[in-house]
Amino acid sequence: MEEVEDIQSFDNDTIDLLSSPNDQNILQDNQESCIIRQDPIIDSAIFKAYESLRKIALDYGLERELAVPRTVIVGDTSSGKSMLVQMFLRFPCAFSHANVGTRCPVKYILRYDPNLNDGEIRFIEPKHWQAKDLSKNLELEMERIEKAYRHEGGFRLEPFTIEIASKHYTDFEILDVPGLVSGDLDPNKRAAVERITEHYVRDPSFMIVQLKEAQQLADNTYGTRRIGELCTSEPAQQGSKFPARKDYAEHTITIQTKFDAFMREHDNGTVANEDIRTRIEFFPNTFFTNMVVSPYKLSDHSYEENIEYIAQLPELEKKEVDNWINRINLKAGGSDSKYQLFNQHYRPLIGIDVVRKQIQELWLRAFRAALPRLQDTINRLIRKHSDEFETALFNLEQQDPRTVRNNYQKYIEAFRTTISDYAAYRAEVNALFPLDEYGRTYEQIENEYNDWNRKQPLTWRAYLSAKQLKQNLNGQILATLDLRYIGARHFERLRQVFSYMILSHEALNRERDWFESSQSLLYGGVSDYENTEKAVRELLFTLIRETFLIGICWLTQMYTFLSDHFANHVKSALLNTKFSHLEEHVKFLSLVDLEYHTVTRKFIRNAVTAIKHARYAKMVYAVHNVCGTLKNLVSSFSNMSMIIQNSNDNDNNNDSDNLGNKLLQVAQDAIPKLATGISPVAAIATSAITTVTGCKNPLDLIYATGKFLTNDRNPQTVNYLPQTCDKVSELYTAVRGQLLHDITTNFFANLVLEIQQYKSIPIENSLQNRLNRMSDKDIAHMANIEIESSRQKVLSNHESIKQLEQARDAIEDVIALINNKNIDDNLYDMNDDINNIKKRIRATHADTRNKRLRDIEKKLKIRQRHKKKQINTIQYNNNQHLSFNVINNEKQISIDSNQDEDNSDDETSEFEDEHGLMRYDDKTSSETYLLGIFRKHDQEDLELGFLNGDSLKADVKFVEQRQQQQQKQQEQKSTLMTNMKSNVRMIAENLEQISSLPININSILQQRKDTSSDFVSDDEDDRNSVVEVPSNKTGLFFVHL
C-alpha cells in the first residue's frame, strides 16, 4: 500500500520563497507543484467501509479500540461554521434567532444517490423533513433540547443526526458543534459550549477543522486559541476523559473565512503577500474562502434564489478573487511601482471548492493511515467472535440432558483423580500445577488462611505467627517456612509448625494455694495423708488442656483450610481447561463442592474424635510409670543405634561380617530353645530381640521402676511439693510428646492418606451413583438448561461474524482502491469479480455455520417444539430464581426415591443441604448458601473434640492479660529510658561526690554479712514452708501472667 500523504503545509523556506520579490518565471514554474486534487475525493466504497466500521464500533462498544477517523468543525460563533456547512449541503440551512442558538452538535451525513433527479434532495433522517424547512426545523429542535436539558445548562453532548441524499453529493460525514462564545456574560453557557468542544477535539479519532476570520490576526483569535487550550491542558479543563492531545495541530486544518473583507483591506501585493504569509506561518495547514460574496445576503432572498446562488458561488468567488488579484497586479505593473505582484502560489489556497476538497482530503488521509490498524482490529474481532461462536455452539450441544450427565460424570472422575494427584504432586499433574504459580510458603498459607471466609476467630496461648516463628531468640527456626510447597507436603510442614508451638510453649506456674485446693478429696479413715495423687491428676489435666485445647481447634481449622485450598486449585484448573463449558453449571459444581466437603469432613471428624479420646486418656490416667517406661524404651534403642552407627562407619565387607555375626548369635541362642519344644517362630523372634536389644529384660518395660511420689508428705512444711512438681513436669513432658504423636498419626491416617487416595475411596451414596439414577428432567433441572438462551448466543455470534467479515472485505476493497488510483474499466470489472468471490466465500461460511446449528437443533428437537408452538415454562419455586425448560415439581433430585426412612441425622442434613442448593441458579447465591453450611459445620467440628468444661474462649483472658503485661512492661521500659536520659547529669554528679568520700570497705562487707545471716535464721521456717524455684530454671512453671 502506498505511503500515507502528509497534510499539505508550508515550511519556513517555502514561506520565504513565497514572499520573495517579483519573479514571474519562478511563480509560473512552481505553480504546478502545489497539489490540490480537483477530482472527486471520496469513493463510495471508502465511505461504505467507514460506515461499516462505525456501526461495529457502536454495536460492540469499541469506539476507542476501533477508532474510526471522523471530522469535526469548530470555531467562534461568528466564524462562518453554518455557512461552511451550507456549502456542503448546497442549500441554505442556517437559522438565526435572537434567543435560539445551536444547543448540541449536529452530525450531517451526505450520501451520493445517482438515482435522484437534478436538484432533488431526499431526507433519510429525520425521514419526513424537507430541505426548504431544514433551518426552521433545526431551530425548533434546538428549542426542544434547550428545554429538555435545562438542568445541564440547556446543552446536550450527543449529536443530532441529519442524513441527506443527492446526486450532487460526495459521500461524507461532518460534525458541527456549537460555536465558542468569548463575550457571553453567562459563565455556565460558556462552560457548556466548551465542554462539548473539548469532548470532541480531545478525541484522537476526530480530525479538526477550525474556522477563523481571515482579517483577524492570530493573537486576536479567541476561538483558535481556546481550541488549543482545550486540546492540550492537563488535566482537562471541562472534564473530558481523553488525555491531552499535544499533537492536535498535526490533525487540524484552518479555514480562514470572510476573505472578501481581507481583500477590501488589502489593495497592493506587498501587504497582501506579507499578511497571507504570516497567517500561513501561524496556521501551516490553512485555506481561505469568501463563503458569500458581498453584498449578497441570503436572508433577503427566497429559498430557490439562494439555492441557485449557492450553486453559482464557487464561480462567482473565483471571479471576485481573480479581479482582486488583477487589480493588485495592475497596481504593481507600473515602471515606478514599489509594490509586489500577488504571489500566485497563494491562489490555489483560496476558494470554496478548495476548502471543501481539503476538508475531505484531511479525513481521507486519516482514514487511509488508520486502515492497517483497523484491519488488524477487525481480524482480531473475527477470531474472537469465531471462538465465541464455537463455545456457544458447544454449549448449545451440551443442553442435551444425556450429554450433560456424561460431562458431569467425567468432571467428577477428573476431580477425584486430579485432587489425589495434586495432594501427592505426581508428575502427571505438575504441568497443570506449576510450582511457581501454585507453590506457597508458610507465610502465604497463613495470609490466605487469615483472608479465608470460613476462618473462625481463635485465641490460643501458644500460637506463633509466621513472623514470630522467624524471630526466635535462640536463632533456631524451622528451615521449611520459606519453601514453596504444593499438595500434602503442606501437612508435614503444618505438623512441624504445630509441634514447634507446643514444644516452645512454657506452661503456666501454679502456686501452693492452687495445688492444695486440688487436694480437696478426703479419704476419711483409710489414710491420713494429703491426697497428693489427686492434685497431680488435676495439675496434669489442667496443663495439657491449656496447652492443647485451642491448639487442636486451630490445627483442625488449618487442616480444613488446606483441604479447601486443594479443592479450589483443582476446581479452578479443571474449569479453566477441558471443563470450561461447565463453568456456569452452578448447581452441579455446588453439589461436587458439598460432597467433597462432606467426605473430607468425615475424615477430619474421625481424627478429632480419636484425638479427643487420646487427650482425655492421657490427662486422667498417667500411671504405670510412663516416664520410666519411656526412659527404658529409649535406652533399648542404644545398642541398635550403635549397630547403625558402626554400619555407617565400616565398608561393605564389614557390613556383611557384622550382619553374619548377628545372624550367628541369633542361631546359637535359638537352638537350645528349639530343643525344649518351643515353636521355631517364637524361638527365633525372642533370640533376635535379645541379640538386637543387648539382652534387655522385657520385664523392665512392663513393671514400674521409679517412685511416683515421696513417702514424706508433711502438710505443714510442704516439703514434698518441689519433688512432686518435678514429677509433674516429667509427666507433662512425657504426655505432651505422646499426645503430639497421637495428633499427628490420627490426622495423617484419617485425612492426609485418604485425600491422596481420594480417587479410589468408596463414597456412600455418591453423587456419581445418584446422577446415574436421575431422569433427564432431573438433569435438566440441575443444569438449569436454557436452550433458547444458548441458541440466541449462537445466532448473535453468527451475525457478528457476518458483519465483521463484511467490514473486513470493505477495508480490503478500500486498500485495493487506494493502491490502484488509475483504475480502468477492466480493473473495475476485475474488482466486481473479486467482490462476487468474497460474497460467495462469506455465504459459504455462513451456510456452514447454519448447518452445524441445524444439526444440533435437530438433535435437541428444537424445531419440533417450535412447530408445536410449545412455550418454555418459567417456574417460580418459593420466590427463588426462575428456571427454564425444567421439571414442574419440587422433587428432591439429590435423594434416591427408594431411600430408607431411618437415615442418620447427618445424612438427613446432607440431603436437606443438597435440596436447598437446587433453589439457586446464580453463583453468588449458591456460594452464599454453601458458605453458611460450611461455617456451621466448621463450628461443630471445632467443638467436637471438647471435654466437659472446654470452651473456645478458654485462652482469651490469659492472652489479654499477657498482652496487657507486655504493654505495661514496654511502657515501664520507655519511662525508664526517659528518666535515665533526663538524670544522666545528676547521676554523674552523685558518683563524683561519692568517689570523694572516704569509705571503709571491710566494715561495710562485715555489716552486710551479719545482716544476711540474721535474715536467713529469722526467716528459715517461712522459707521452708513455700515452693522454691531457682531463678535460673526454665520450662514448666515459669510463664507468669
* Overall domain count for the chain: 3
Residues 588, 689, single domain; the answer is: no
Residues 550, 643, single domain; the answer is: no
Q: In this structure, is residue 426 part of a structural domain?
A: yes
Q: In this structure, is residue 810 part of a structural domain?
A: no
Give the orientation angle of helix 442-450 with respect to helix 532-575, to 10 degrees. Answer: 90
pLDDT of residue 433 exceeding 60, the answer is: yes
Q: In this structure, is residue 466 part of a structural domain?
A: yes
Q: Give the pLDDT score at 633.
A: 66
pLDDT of residue 902 exceeding 50, the answer is: no
**At which of 350, 377, 404 does a domain end?**
350
3-state helix, strand, coil in the chain (%, to 5): 60, 5, 35
- For 302, the grid coordinates are 427566497
Residues 427, 501, single domain; the answer is: yes
Q: Give the pLDDT score at 34.
A: 37
Residues 593, 496, single domain; the answer is: yes
The larger pLDDT score, comparing residue 1016 to residue 977, is at 977
Task: Give phi and psi for 419, each to the nearest 5.
Answer: -70, -30
pLDDT digits (tens, 9 = 90+) for 191-235: 899 999 999 999 999 999 999 999 888 767 888 999 999 999 999
Q: Contact, 625 vs 706, CB < 8 A? A: yes
Residues 569, 468, single domain; the answer is: yes
Residues 335, 272, single domain; the answer is: yes
Angle at 657 between CA 653 and CA 662, to 5 degrees: 150
Q: Give the pLDDT score at 683.
A: 62
The larger pLDDT score, comparing residue 991 to residue 612, is at 612
Residues 688, 737, single domain; the answer is: no
Q: Give the pLDDT score at 1035.
A: 36
Between 33-42, 596-605, 629-638, 913-922, the lowest mean confidence (pLDDT) is in 33-42
Q: Which residues contact 237 (CB under 8 A, 6 or more apart)?
A: 194, 198, 229, 230
Residues 538, 644, single domain; the answer is: no
Q: Give the pLDDT score at 646.
A: 53
Task: Name the most confidently modeled range: 32-36, 397-401, 455-459, 619-623.
Answer: 455-459
- Mean pLDDT, residues 464-471 taken together: 90
Q: Give the pLDDT score at 429.
A: 94
pLDDT digits (tens, 9 = 90+) for 831-854: 566 667 777 787 888 888 888 877
Q: Give the pLDDT score at 663.
A: 61
Q: Give the pLDDT score at 1008.
A: 44
Q: What is the DSSP string of 925-980?
A: HHHHHHHHHHHHHHHHHHHHT--TT--TTTTHHHHHHHHHHHHHHHHHHHHHHHHH
pTM score above 0.95 = no
Domain that holds residue 8: 1-35+258-350
Q: Give the pLDDT score at 124.
A: 94
Dihedral sign, CA of 853, 858, 864, 865?
negative
Q: Give the pLDDT score at 20.
A: 43
Q: In this structure, is residue 24 part of a structural domain?
A: yes
pLDDT of residue 255 exceeding 90, the answer is: yes
- Mean pLDDT, residues 820-834 taken together: 54
Q: In this structure, is residue 917 part of a structural domain?
A: no
Instruction: Give the integer Cα–Cα distance in Å for 305 and 503.
Output: 106
Q: Give the pLDDT score at 393.
A: 86
pLDDT of residue 611 exceeding 90, the answer is: yes
Under the banding of pLDDT at 50, 70 and 90, the label for residue 667 is low
Taking the CA atoms of residue 229, residue 233, residue 239 and residue 240 in that order, the dihedral angle to the nearest 10 degrees is 80
Q: Give the pLDDT score at 833.
A: 65
Residues 668, 610, single domain; the answer is: no
Q: Give the pLDDT score at 10.
A: 42
Q: In this structure, is residue 758 part of a structural domain?
A: yes
- For 910, the grid coordinates are 446432607
Q: Give the pLDDT score at 517.
A: 81
pLDDT digits (tens, 9 = 90+) for 37-64: 333 456 778 888 888 888 888 887 888 8
Instruction: Sort 309 into a burial class: Cβ within 10 Å, 0-12 / 13-18 / 19+.
Output: middle
pLDDT digits (tens, 9 = 90+) for 90-149: 888 876 655 667 899 999 999 989 899 988 999 999 988 999 999 899 999 999 999 999
Task: Give phi and psi for 742, each to the nearest 5.
Answer: -65, -40
pLDDT digits (tens, 9 = 90+) for 771-800: 999 888 888 888 877 777 888 888 888 888
Between 308-322, 405-419, 666-680, the lowest mean confidence (pLDDT) is in 666-680
Residues 605, 513, single domain; the answer is: yes
Q: In this structure, is residue 740 part of a structural domain?
A: yes
Residues 320, 280, single domain; the answer is: yes
Residue among 333, 358, 327 nearest 42 (CA): 358
pLDDT digits (tens, 9 = 90+) for 200-209: 999 999 999 9
Residues 642, 611, single domain; the answer is: no
Q: Give the pLDDT score at 100.
A: 66
Q: Give the pLDDT score at 36.
A: 35
Q: Give the pLDDT score at 974.
A: 77
Task: Name the most confidently modeled range: 439-453, 990-1004, 1007-1021.
Answer: 439-453
pLDDT mean across residues, the chain? 78
Q: In this structure, is residue 59 part of a structural domain?
A: no
pLDDT of residue 897 exceeding 70, the answer is: no
